[in-house]
Amino acid sequence: MKVLGICLILLVTFNSNKLLAQPSIVQSQTARQIIGQMQTHLTCPWNNETVDTFKTGNPDDTVTGIAVCMFADMKTLRKAVASKCNLIIVHEPTFYNHLDKTDVLKIDPVYDKKIAYINEHKLIIFRFHDHWHRTVPDGIYMGMVNKLGWKANQIDSSMTYFKFNDQTVEEFAQKLQEKLKGSQLRIIGDPQMHFTNVALAVGAPGSSSHINLLTNDFTELLVAGEASEWETYEYVLDASMMGMKKAVIFTGHIASEEAGMEYCATWMKTFIPEIPITYFENGSSYWSVQKPIVK
């Protein structure tokens, strides 16, 4: 009996250890459920009047992997497919206009090929723009300030105004170029202008927003994403020609916001640990001639 009892104890112990050793079953989630989780982790209420909607695919499909990026261009879509990501979280439009309207593109060869690829691989694209800016702190600004290393230079919680040691615009631009490798900076104003006060305006908020920042007594240098050349460019050029202490550095739209989507991927991993989440860098959309072309 004693031997039988010992055998039973060993058998129970073995089976218990076997059960504990079994991997836990990860519950699958649909794209709609993933977006629902994102909504609950924002600090702002969800507004249905928004561009933050599904652009392609079936939201009720099971998610195999999540790709996070600025633009869902073809290179990024191919990378997502290769990484087995079928949900794409993108900050900017997929179909070349703010509302992603496709009615005017129905017979367009570029659109036709892109949507065919998306449909073939059953890709679900969700735009995450408005609410990522509305949440507190603004997710895009948070990522950019972290990347630039400007947190210690903030003068308040707005992540708009910063104070630096006295330096010239040219010196500052060289440092900024190092941090934004691949970006081709455009600078308006006197390169030898000394300043300490900087305002940040990521993306393309428009010339009215830029000018409001520039007319603020605090702002000497504006670091911005992009603008039409006949607007903010000319405003700062005239101000500089009048002897005013104003300058602007344009980084390009992608360079001014992309770190915010990298931060988005990091943020999502804190509450979606069971699904692979990969950040894909887009980099600059254009290139320019660096050296004279020899004919």
Contacts of 275 (CB under 8 A, 6+ apart): 29, 34, 63, 64, 65, 66
Contacts of 147 (CB under 8 A, 6+ apart): 179, 259, 262
Residue ranges with strand state E in the chain:
54-56, 66-69, 87-90, 124-127, 161-168, 186-188, 194-201, 221-224, 247-250, 277-279
What number does CATH give the domain 139-255? 3.40.1390.30
Between the alpha carbon of residue 176 and those of residues 11, 67, 97, 252, 268, the distances in Å are 66, 28, 30, 12, 28
Annotated binding site for a divalent metal cation: 91, 253, 257
Q: What is the mean pLDDT of residues 91-110?
A: 96
DSSP state of 121: T
* 119 has a pLDDT exceeding 70: yes
pLDDT at 60: 98
Q: Does residue 137 have a cis bond before it (omega within 30 degrees)? A: yes
Beta strands at 124-127 and 87-90: parallel, antiparallel or unpaired:
parallel
Beta strands at 161-168 and 124-127: parallel, antiparallel or unpaired:
unpaired
Copy the structure tokens of residue 64: 């195999």
Phi, then psi, of 253 in degrees rounded to 5: -60, -50
Query: CB–CB of 10/3 below 8 Å?
Result: no
* 291 has a pLDDT exceeding 70: no
Tens of pLDDT, residue by residue over 176-213, are 999 998 789 999 999 999 999 999 999 999 999 999 99
CA distance 221 to 240: 11
Annotated binding site: 91, 253, 257
Query: CB–CB of 233/188 below 8 Å?
Result: yes
pLDDT at 27: 73
pLDDT at 26: 53
Q: What is the mean pLDDT of residues 147-174?
A: 97
Q: What is the mean pLDDT of residues 219-238?
A: 97
CA distance 27 to 63: 11
Q: What is the mean pLDDT of residues 110-132?
A: 99
In this prediction, residue 16 has a pLDDT band, given cuts at 50, 70 and 90, of very low
* 20 has a pLDDT exceeding 80: no
pLDDT at 295: 58
Tell me, rounded to whole angstroms, the distance of Cα 43 from its chain centroid: 18
* 163 has a pLDDT exceeding 80: yes
Q: What is the mean pLDDT of residues 57-71?
A: 99
Tens of pLDDT, residue by residue over 122-138, are 999 999 999 999 999 99
DSSP state of 164: E
pLDDT at 24: 43
Domain ranges, ordered by start, for the chain: 31-135, 139-255
31-135 matches 139-255 in fold:
yes
31-135 to CATH, choices 3.40.50.2300, 3.40.1390.30, 2.60.40.10, 1.10.760.10: 3.40.1390.30
Tens of pLDDT, residue by residue over 231-288, are 999 999 999 999 999 999 999 999 999 999 999 999 999 999 999 999 999 988 888 8
In percent, the amount of the chain with pLDDT more than 70 equals 89
pLDDT at 293: 58
User: pTM score, two decimals?
Assistant: 0.88
State the chain's mean pLDDT as an integer: 92
Tell me the residue length of the chain: 295
* 12 has a pLDDT exceeding 50: no
